[in-house]
C-alpha cells in the first residue's frame, strides 16, 4: 500500500501509470486496482512496453541486460520468443526493411535502365549501384548504425558495395542458414543476355521472406548466446531435470540428453511448455 499526492499529472507508481485528479492523498494497491472516494478518482493504467524500432535499440539494450542465473536467462528468452515480439520483429523491422530494399532496387533500376523489359547484359555497374542503394535503405530502416560508419569512413562507391553486401550477407545468415543465398548472386544477371530488369525485380521479391526469416534467426541466435553463453549445456540439462519430471516426463535417451547442445535443450524445454515432450524423453509410467 502506498500514498500518492495529487499533482494533477501522470506519475509512475510501482510500474503503473497513474493519473491523479481532484484529491489530496490516495492509497493504491498493486495489481491495477482503482479507489474512488466521493467525487475524486484515480485512474490506473498499465504501462505498455515500448516496441523496438530497430536492431540498434535491441542490441544497445542488451548491454544493460544481464541474467544473474538460469531462471533469469529463461525468463528473458521466453519474453523475446513471445509471438507478439517475434511477429513485430518480422513484420515491422525485417519485413519493412525488405520492402524498402525491394522498392529502392526497383526504383534505381527503373531510373538507370528504364522498364522491366530492358536487358541487363553488360550493365553490371548499374546493377551493383541498385543493389548498394537497396541495402543502404534496408539498413537505414533496420540498423542505422551500420550506414553511419560507412559515411564516417568516407567510403567510395566500390568500397560501399563491398561493405554493404558483406554486412547484409552476414545479417541474413549466408553460410550459416541452409538455402539463404548471397545478395551478390544478382550480379550474375548482368552476364546473361536473356536477363532483364524484370528478372532481377522478381529475384529480389522472391527472396524477401527467406531473407527476413534468416535475419530473425540470426538475431535470435545472438540473443540466446548473450543470455546462455556462460553456461555449459550440461548445467542447463541439470537445471531442466526437475522441470521435466514435474511435467510428467523422464529421460529415455540418457546419452542424448547428457550430450545435447543448447539448441536441443531449448527445443526440449519448448516441448515441455507445450506439453508435447521430446525425443529424449518419455512419459513417466504410473505406479500401480
Which residues sit opposite 250 in a β-bridge?
A: 282
CB distance 221 to 162 below 8 Å: no
Rounded mean pLDDT of 107-112? 96
In tens, the pLDDT along 152-185 reads 999 999 999 999 999 999 999 999 999 899 999 9
- Note every long-range contact of 236-244, with CB atoms under 8 Å and residues 24 or more positions apart, other chains counting: 236/70, 236/262, 236/265, 237/265, 239/70, 240/265, 240/268, 240/269, 240/272, 243/269, 243/272, 244/268, 244/272, 244/281
Q: Which residues contact 109 (CB under 8 A, 6 or more apart)?
A: 126, 127, 130, 197, 200, 201
> Which single residue is written with the C-alpha cell 521472406?
209
Give the percent of the chain with pLDDT over 90: 70
Cβ–Cβ under 8 Å, residues 135 and 183: yes
Average pLDDT for the chain = 85
Where does residue 146 fall: left (phi above 0), alpha (psi -120 to 50 degrees), or beta otherwise? alpha
Task: Give residue-wise pLDDT tens across range 179-226.
Answer: 899 999 999 999 999 999 999 999 999 999 999 999 999 999 999 999
Residues with Cβ within 8 Å of 208's Cβ and at least 6 positions away in sequence, in order, are: 95, 98, 99, 101, 102
The phi and psi torsions of 21 (rounded to 5 degrees) equal -130, 135
Per-residue pLDDT tens for 223-245? 999 999 999 999 999 999 999 99
Confidence of residue 8 (pLDDT cuts 50, 70, 90): very low
Confidence of residue 272 (pLDDT cuts 50, 70, 90): confident
- Separation between Cα atoms, residue 88 and residue 52, nearest integer Å: 8
Average pLDDT over residues 43-57: 64
Q: Give the C-alpha separation, 103 to 83, whole Å.
A: 28
**pTM for this entry:** 0.79
Assign 10 to helix, strand or coil. strand
β-strand partners of 281: 251
Amino acid at each position: 500500500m502506498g500514498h500518492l499526492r495529487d499533482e494533477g499529472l501522470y506519475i509512475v507508481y510501482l510500474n503503473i501509470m497513474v493519473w491523479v485528479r481532484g484529491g489530496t492523498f490516495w492509497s493504491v494497491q498493486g495489481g491495477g486496482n482503482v479507489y474512488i472516494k466521493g467525487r475524486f478518482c484515480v485512474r490506473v493504467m498499465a504501462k505498455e512496453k515500448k516496441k523496438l524500432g530497430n536492431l540498434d535499440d535491441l542490441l544497445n539494450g542488451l548491454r544493460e541486460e544481464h541474467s544473474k542465473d538460469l531462471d533469469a536467462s529463461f525468463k528473458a528468452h521466453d519474453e523475446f520468443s513471445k509471438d507478439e515480439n517475434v511477429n513485430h520483429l518480422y513484420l515491422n523491422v525485417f519485413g519493412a526493411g525488405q520492402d524498402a530494399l525491394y522498392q529502392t532496387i526497383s526504383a534505381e533500376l527503373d531510373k538507370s535502365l528504364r522498364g522491366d523489359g530492358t536487358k541487363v547484359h553488360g550493365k553490371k555497374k548499374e546493377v551493383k549501384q541498385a543493389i548498394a542503394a537497396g541495402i543502404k535503405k534496408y539498413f537505414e530502416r533496420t540498423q542505422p548504425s551500420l550506414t553511419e560508419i560507412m559515411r564516417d569512413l568516407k567510403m567510395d562507391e566500390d568500397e560501399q558495395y563491398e561493405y554493404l553486401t558483406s554486412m547484409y550477407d552476414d545479417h541474413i545468415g549466408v553460410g550459416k542458414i541452409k538455402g539463404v543465398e548471397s545478395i551478390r548472386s544478382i550480379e550474375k544477371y548482368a552476364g546473361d543476355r536473356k536477363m532483364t530488369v524484370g528478372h532481377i525485380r522478381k529475384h529480389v521479391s522472391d527472396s524477401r521472406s527467406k531473407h527476413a526469416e534468416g535475419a530473425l534467426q540470426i538475431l535470435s541466435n545472438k540473443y540466446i548466446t548473450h543470455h546462455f553463453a556462460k553456461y555449459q549445456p550440461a548445467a542447463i540439462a541439470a537445471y531442466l531435470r526437475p522441470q521435466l519430471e514435474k511435467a510428467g516426463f523422464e529421460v529415455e535417451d540418457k546419452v542424448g540428453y547428457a550430450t545435447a547442445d543448447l539448441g536441443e535443450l531449448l527445443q526440449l524445454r519448448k516441448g515441455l511448455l507445450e506439453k508435447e515432450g521430446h525425443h529424449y524423453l518419455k512419459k513417466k509410467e504410473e505406479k500401480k
